Every structure is written in structure tokens, then in C-alpha cells.
Amino acid sequence: MLRTAAIHFTLLVGAVVIFFAIDACGPLRHAAPALPNDASDGQIPPLVHVLMTLTAVITLGWILGKLLRLIGQPPVIGEVAAGILLGPSLLGRVWPAGASFLLPDSAASFLGVIAQIGIILYMFLIGLEMNLGEFKGRAAATLTIAHASMAVPFVLGAALALVLFPRLASEDVSFTSFALFIGVALSITAFPVLARILTDLRMHKTPLGTLALACAASNDAAAWCLLALAVGVAKAQVGGGLFVIGGTFVYLAFMLLLVRPLAAHWLAQTGPAALTRGGLALVFVALLLSALTTEWIGLHAIFGAFVLGAVIPHDSVVARTLSGNFADFVTVLLLPAFFAFTGLRTEFGLVAGIEAWLLCASIMVVATFGKFGGVYLAARAVGIDWRQSSALGVLMNTRGLMELIVLNVGLELRIISPTLFAMMVLMALVTTLATTPILRLLGVTPNHDAHDEHGTA
């Protein structure tokens, strides 16, 4: 012990003596010119603002989620509301200095990058959960209802665009792209939020719940195709539209005809070995390349992430493992960044005046009754009773997160204005919040009528 202590003491003293000897020679050397300092004195780094914002959104979202769960609402609504409350709609109005300190404009772009990464990973996970085999036994009825749930609100939304376009669209947007986007935005059903609601109500394994999930999955697939068309038309106004549309078809053909069978063969051959570090690295490299490809084509990167997830067999060990283990990391940590970024872009104060609120109300009415009416009529046509048809129409009106994703794409492409963006976000929140209470009024939840839970669907 004494020898060890002596060695340590000698090393320490020797290092100090040598350092002072080197330091004495320092003034004899000439330093290089000083580097420019871009940051002002006392400026808080953007990373600190982003970390504070994420902390605030996650904490407030968790609290609001717990409170909303008490009244039968899915916790995801609290997470969405947290981002909006911390934005200019509330915090920016009651405490502008606090909102500016929490996330100034100089740091918003950094949060935007994290939000985009989070939503790319989230859409990849949604694609992994896509299983068209769930409704093979009732494919005709499912497709009929799903297509009606898209067609009716899409047409009504395009008609509503005639009223909204001269009032809420900018001059550099064509009516075609505007009408396409409004139709798509009113046709969306939030498949993941719907799944969460059905799970919370213990309806996800009932005939009604299974049919709703199948219709929502088919609806989402058609919605992404329509959104890709709307984005392609919007890009065409800037030039290169043929490249966008042609590139989209080539990309989808490549993914469905080549990547899908190769992925199925590789996963069948490797089995659990696909979960090695190299196997997972291959999956994530494919994810990044797919997202980069669609971004390069002119579509959003989320399309590439979603399509890659969809071509991977949903029952493979990779899909099950990533959906089970990776989903919590994405939804708890990364999605709040998207909610915060959306909240920063949502300012309900822009919806001012009687005319603006009447337009907002008209959007809600057309979105609600267009979706409900299309689903109800189609469900009745295939032989489902009125109560189950009504419940199915209410469930398909759930928009939530998927609507926010679509709206952010439209805002980034400047197809819709910030004012219309705020109106559409409000519509998404109202239609999603109304789902659970109306279901309880219809008496189709297990808490009300066990017979209806297993009724005709």
C-alpha cells in the first residue's frame, strides 16, 4: 500500500511540475488568430431550450392524459393538447416571455428535426402493424365501408374547398391541389388512436372493434395514396410534377414487387437471427433509405417509412419485436416533440371573427357528417343493424394524430394557411374527443350493454 501511494504521489507531483514547466514556455509561442464567436454572451444553447420543451410537453401530456382517462378519453389526446397549450394558443397569450424563453424561434428548427425523426419512426411502426389478413373473411363489406368512408367526405371536402379557397388559400396555390388536400384531410381516420380507444374500452377483440380496425386500416392506406396524389399535384405547380408522380409509381412498384418478397424470404430464412445487431442495423438502414427516397422524389419522408413498415410481414419476429419494444421509446419520448412542434404552429387566435368561426364550424360539420354518413349508409347496405352502423360511423370519425401528420404536410408545402391549419387542428381534436362519449350514449361499450358488444357486425 505504501509503495502504491508513493507511486501515485510521484505521478501527481511529476505531472504538476511538468505542466508548470510547459506553461512557462507558453508566452514564448505566438497563438493563432481568434476564431469568430457566433454565439452572443449569455445566450442559452438551443439544446437547453429543446430539452426544456420536451420535458414540459412530456410532463404536461402525462398529467392531462391521466385526467382525460378519468372521463373516458384516450391519453393521447392529453399529449396533443399539451403541445397546443404550450404554444402561442395559450402560453404565448398569457405569458409571452415564458413561451419565448421555453422555445425561441432560434431553437424551433432543432425541435422540428427531432419531431420529423419521431414521426418517421412512428409511421414505420404503424406500417409494421398493418395486417390486411384481418379482414379476409369480410373483405367485401370492409372495402365497401372503407371506400364509402373515404369517398363521401372527400367529395364534400372538395365542395367545401369552393368556399374556403377564396378566403383561406394563398395566391400561389392552385385550386386543384387545395381541393385535393381538403378532401384528403376530411377523409382521414386515425388508425392508431382508434386502436387505443378500442383497447381502452375493451372492444378491440369484438366483432365491431375488429371491423372498425379493418376499415380504418384500409381507409389509411387509401388516404396515403390520395395524399401522395395531392402532394404530387402541389409539387407540379413548382415544376417537376411528372417526376414526382412517375417516381411515386416506380417507388411503390419497387417496394411491393421486389422489396416485399425479399424481406419475407430473408425473415423466413433468418428467423430470430434477424434480431442480431447486424440484422436490426439492416432494417434501420432500409428505413432511412426508403425515407430518403420518398423525400428525394418529392413526397414526405413519412411515406417511405410507412411503406417499408407495410412491406415487412406483420407477424415476423422483427415486426413483433420492434412493435413491442421500440414503440414505447418512440411514443413516450419522440412523439411529444411532434406535438410540441405542432403546438408551436397552431394559433387558435388566428380564428377570429364571426366569419372565421362559421367557417371553422362548417369544416367540423362537413367532416363529421361526411364521414359518419358515408360509413352509416355503407354499413346498412351490407346488412349491419342501425346501432352498430352508427357506432362504426362514430369510430371512423376518430382523426387525432393522423390528421395532425397530414395537416403538417400541407402546412409545410404551403397548401393550407396557418389560419386554416388552426381550424383543421381544432376539428381533429373535437371529432376525436367526441368518439368515446357518443359510443357510450349508443350503448355499444362493455360498460353499457354486453349484448351489443357481440352483436351483428
User: What is the chain's length?
Assistant: 457
Element (H, E) at 375: helix 354-381
Closest CA to 413 of 241, 190, 178: 178
Q: What is the pLDDT of residue 34?
A: 59
Record the cell numbers describing residue 179, joined without a space.
Answer: 381541393
Record the cell numbers describing residue 269, joined without a space.
Answer: 430464412
Q: What is the pLDDT of residue 69?
A: 81
The span from the CA of 428 to the CA of 392, in Å, is: 18
- Dihedral sign, Cα of residue 112, residue 115, residue 121, residue 123: negative
DSSP three-state, residue 288: helix
The span from the CA of 406 to the CA of 233, in Å, is: 15
pLDDT in tens, the chain (457 residues): 888 888 888 999 889 888 888 877 766 666 566 555 554 445 788 889 889 988 998 899 889 988 988 887 777 778 778 888 888 888 888 888 888 888 787 788 888 888 889 888 988 887 887 765 555 566 778 888 988 999 999 999 999 999 999 999 877 888 988 998 999 999 988 776 787 677 767 776 778 887 887 788 777 777 777 777 777 777 665 455 567 778 888 998 999 899 999 998 898 888 787 778 888 899 999 999 999 998 888 777 888 888 898 889 888 888 888 888 888 888 888 888 887 888 877 888 888 889 999 999 999 999 999 999 999 999 999 889 899 999 999 999 988 777 888 888 888 888 899 999 999 999 988 988 888 888 888 887 765 443 333 333 3
Task: Evaluate if pTM is beyond 0.85.
Answer: no
Closest CA to 108 of 86, 93, 85: 86
**CATH no. for 135-313+352-453:** 1.20.1530.20
Q: What is the pLDDT of residue 36?
A: 58
Q: What is the pLDDT of residue 165?
A: 93
The span from the CA of 133 to the CA of 190, in Å, is: 20
**Cβ pair 309, 123 in contact under 8 A:** yes
Residue 177: CB atoms within 10 Å: 22
The span from the CA of 373 to the CA of 212, in Å, is: 15
Closest CA to 221 of 160, 309, 96, 323: 309
